[in-house]
Structures are given as C-alpha cells and as structure tokens.
Amino acid sequence: MNTEIILKPVKIVKLFKVLNAVPDNLDKIRARELWEETDQGLGSVVAVLDSGVQIDHPSLKENIIDGYNFTDDDEGNPSIYKDYLGHGTHVSGIIAAVDNGRGITGVAPKSKVLILKVINHMGRGSFENLIKAIMYAVDWTGPNGEKVNIMNMSLGSPEPQEELHKAIKYARSKGIVLVAAAGNEGDGESETIEISYPGFYKEVIQVGSISEAETPSKFSNTNVNLDFVGPGENILSTHLNSNYVELTGTSMAAPFVAGAAALIIKTINRSESRLIPMYVYDYLLSHVLPLENFSINHIGHGFIQLK
C-alpha cells in the first residue's frame, strides 16, 4: 500500500526581508543555556525529511551538509533537492540556522542538516519515498565520516503502514533519535483522538504544539502517545527567496525537539549507539516543564526544556 502524505498549505503570518533576531523561543526552551557545553551542537547531523531546502539561504547554506531528492520534482534528479513550498526551509532553520548576527538563529546553530526531499512542489509525498529516505539516512556517511544522529519528520498520514513501522524501528535500533509532528487535525478537545503516522509510533518522539501563552494549540492532535510539546504558533524562521516568515503548526514544534536533541546528544554517553534515543528521551523527560492544568493527551509529558 502506497499511502499518500499531504502537506496542507500553510498561511504565512508575517514576512521579513532582513532581520537580526534570536527567537524568544530559544530562551523559552532554555536552549542557549546549553550552547557552551555542547558547542551549539557541533558534530550533530539532523536529517530533515521534508519538502527540500533553499540551498543558498544565507542563514542555512553553511549548515547544509548534503541532500537527496526522492520526489518527481526536477524530473526526479536526486541531486536537486530544491524547496518549492518553503516548509522544509522553515523547519531546517528552526533546527540549524547559523548564529551569524543576521537573520535568525536555530536551536543548534552549529549542527548540520541532511536534506532529504520527500514532499514535492504540490505538497505531496508517499510512505514509499519516506521509507527510502529513512533507510538512506541510516546508511548515509558524510564527507568526514559523519553519521545521522536525528531525523525530523514534520509530516504524516492518518494511515499506519507496517513497512514504515519496520523502517522506523530499524533506524531507532541504529541509535537515531526520531522526531515527528503530531499533526494539525486537532479540535481543541483532549477527549477526541487524532492520529498521524509516523508520529504515533512509540519509537518516535511525537511533538504537539503550544501557544505563546504556553497553552495547547487548538489544532494540535491529541492522543495517548503524545510525548512532548514545543512552540508551534507564529514561529519565525527561514523561508524561500532568502526571506524569514512566521508559520504555525506542529511542523514547527517538532524541529525544536530535533534541535534540542542535537544539543542533548553532546552531553550523553554515546558508547552504545542503540541506547542514544533512550538517553535523549530520559534527558527530555527529566528537564520537562509539566503543564499541570492540561491533559496528557494534549501535552504529553509537558513543554520541552534544556536546563
């Protein structure tokens, strides 16, 4: 079964041509307090399985380590992983926009992103290509022997698929931290359940969204497997044409956790790679800010914190 993944069009809240900003959300999750200890994530590689990237974006270009196109865009040329939607560019910036005093700064600004394009210019992708991208990320080796530490999947489908689950389990067994968006089909009620795969799989850190007031976002999916929440409303990051825009969605919350993992990984024992996902999860669990007025279906264990 070739289940389709559809990225719904995202409304751009505000567009900025030039700015110099360390987003407030970095301090809300206490990311900068871990920068010195972790050298801003230097050495961590995050595979971004999304719609591609603007490869020459001034806030991203030096942190893009490699890429591959799994879609039919650009006649299926694997070496052209250009972003036509802006979604993948935005997600990549939340993780790894450089700290250069211009534009915005990512959670782990010295980490690298491996761009795996699985969503085409129409906002469509398939589980078949997602599986290929996951396996590619597991096997990938960088120019200096780098390996993928984390995968960010700000995408999903309501249908489960056994082959996808196998690929997810395989990637986790290789010590890769898997992060996915919870989905934006929520109705604001914690009793009603909305499920998106691969986020719902237990091997994946499923991330929901909270507002600037630290309340659950109405659109954020609620379910029993939700792990954590991150900032997901009016999130400023990189976009097409070297711009910066604010976008909203669980797609924006997930990369805060992926970027956090790129920092956390520098603080833990990495001698047994298969245990790394567990160690990262335990770190998130022990530092989380519980949002006690809300159901665990809405916020999981709570709002991620790095200190």
- So which residues are the catalytic ones? 50, 87, 251
Beta strands in the chain (DSSP E): 4-6, 15-16, 20-21, 45-50, 64-69, 103-104, 112-117, 124-126, 150-153, 177-181, 205-210, 228-231, 235-238, 244-247
How far from 138 is each of 171, 174, 176, 195, CA to CA, in Å? Answer: 6, 7, 8, 26
Distance CA 145, CA 258 (A): 21
Distance CA 189, CA 186 (A): 7
**Does the bond joining 216 to the residue before it have cis omega, within 30 degrees of 0?**
no
Integer-rounded Cα Rg, in Å, for the chain is 17
Distance CA 28, CA 169 (A): 32
Find tokens 């396996």 and name the residue: 135
